Amino acid sequence: MLYRTALKYLLNWKNSSKRKPLIIRGARQVGKTQLVKNFSSEFRQYIEINFDETPEKGDFFKNNTVQETIKLIEVDCGFKIVKGEALLFLDEIQAVSEVLPMLRYFYEKIPDLHVIAAGSLLEFLLADHEFSMPVGRIEYYFLGPLSFDEFLKNSNETLLLEYLHSFNFSKPIPESIHQKTINYLKTFFIIGGMPEAVDTWLKTDDFIQTQKIHASILQTYDDDFGKYRKRMNPEFLRTTLKRMPSLVGAKVRYSNIDRHIAPSALNAAIKALAKARIITQIFHSSGNGIPLGAQINYKKFKPLLVDIGIYSFSLSLKLTDIHRDENIIMINKGALSEQFVGQELLHTIPAFIKPELFYWHREKKGSAAEIDYLCQKGQTIVPIEVKAGRTGSLRSLHTFTASKKSKIGVRFNLDTPSIVNVDTQINNIGRAEYKLISLPLYLTGQISRILKNI
């Protein structure tokens, strides 16, 4: 059984006196169903209804009170449900629209019953619903693939993980530990965090078997496209998804996807892939203040794929390629590392908040600049750059901090950690005076803790 940090959250939810029905949101194959099955060991009774596999059970929820629904479920499963000792799991609820509004009545009428719902294409139901949403009666958990920390934990590197979690700038990271972690990072770049791929890799140590899992996941996404037929041409979705890996780290231009498809159709396809959480759109923000999401330019965005393993497979990268290349950060012009950092930063956002990231771009002749990611940590806007190798120009970071009067900046690269005070004049903008925190890529998931300590 794979270790997932989400289990801790579910345990706290189980024991909370303010518990509400929980909806787990996430892309297909990120492990929603398996997570709940593993969690079910905490209960004496477990009832699972998968509406994709048994759509006829949706009738239990149609034109019935919640008490009548429970009676029908009891008849179906063959035993009386004991409130407080039972977990009811409603999977793939997007297949039966009546289930979602019913959740409010579980909260109001049967609060002692633990109820979890999930759905891989749930975002479409949430976007297009014609019923009254149970606002304030449900809570959400956003689940993604395994993080690098979870990958280390499942690789039996508990001591290494504890060491990284205790890192501060009082002592340097020894070079041998640094290189050991870099080697694990290279492996993660190829294997990624999709649970079945990780599990296969850990059990077989067979890269080809893991590739088969990645191919199967992409085929599952492709098979799902038929379900979008009423919304758009499935071929537009296939074309768009096929082009996304080559566009990671770059501003999306529709002409770079397919010149023969109308931009409006490509935009609809991108939004559909984002709703299915197969990709994440990293929108441009002006970065002038909090919240960053209030300053979005929806016409400017960069894509991230759901998982770096899927990304690497789509680019036909091999394990030997990664381990042979010393400057892994420059693979595919640095987009591989930008995918990793973005994916890890999404993990640092509290799981009950919809994950989102932003970037910043200054388009001015002679002084263009781009910050890979903007994050909000407390009341502070943190510009984050992903740089090549152990060095790299900081001109964009200087430009942003000078124009926004920022006092902190973060650089991720392959070097060991360091902190320096930057004081430099940027022509026609002003003075950049800030604390530059340089961190190795593998500490991306620790950024919140490290910034808080600083």
Q: Kindly state the tokens that stand for 198.
A: 């990780």
Are 382 and 253 within one domain?
yes
Q: What is the pLDDT of residue 29?
A: 95
- The answer as to whether 1 is a domain residue is no
Claim to verify: residue 348 and residue 412 sit in the same structural domain: yes
- Same-domain check for residues 57 and 153: no
Tokens of 309: 């393993």
Which pLDDT does position 95 carry in this prediction? 86
Q: Which of 344, 339, 366 is nearest to 428 (CA)?
A: 366
341: nearest Cα among 376, 380, 373: 373
Mean pLDDT of the chain: 91
Give the DSSP per-residue string, 162-200.
Answer: HHHHT--TTSPPPHHHHHHHHHHHHHHHHH-S-HHHHHH
Predicted pLDDT of residue 126 = 64
Please indicate, yes or no, if residue 95 is contained in any of the structural domains.
yes
69 inside domain: yes
Q: How far apart are CA 190 and CA 325, in angstroms?
A: 13
155 and 123 both lie in a single domain: no
Predicted confidence at residue 420, as pLDDT, reads 94
- What is the per-residue pLDDT for 121? 76
What backbone torsions phi and psi does residue 200 show, to the nearest 5 degrees?
-65, -45
The amino acid occupying position 113 is L
| pLDDT given at position 226 | 81
Q: Are residues 182 and 71 in the same domain?
A: no
CA-based nearest residue to 115, from 79, 90, 143: 90
- Report the share of the chain in percent with pLDDT over 90: 76
Residues sharing a CB contact under 8 Å with residue 230, sequence separation 6 or more, in sequence order: none
* Structural domains in the chain (count): 2
Identify whether residues 321 and 403 lie together within a single domain. Answer: yes
Last residue of a domain, one of 142, 164, 187: 142
Alpha carbon 103 to its chain's center: 25
The residue count for the chain: 454
pLDDT tens digits, residue range 95-128?
A: 888 888 899 999 999 999 999 999 887 777 666 6
The confidence score (pLDDT) of residue 43 equals 98
Query: Is the CB of residue 189 less than 8 Å from the CB of residue 324?
Result: no
Query: Which of 110, 142, 174 is where one domain is finished?
Result: 142
Q: CB-hemisphere CA count at 13 Å for 267?
A: 7
Q: pTM for this structure?
A: 0.93
Residues 47 and 124 in one domain: yes
Q: Quick one: pLDDT at residue 127?
A: 63
- Mark whether 290 and 347 lie in a shared domain: yes
Are 176 and 90 contained in the same domain?
A: no
CATH of the domain at 129: 3.40.50.300
Quick one: pLDDT at residue 228? 74
Inside any domain, residue 96: yes
Same domain, 205 and 289: yes
* List of the chain residues with pLDDT < 50: 391
Q: Which of 290, 239, 230, 241 is nearest to 260 (CA)?
A: 239
Expressed as residue numbers, the domain containing 328 is 149-453
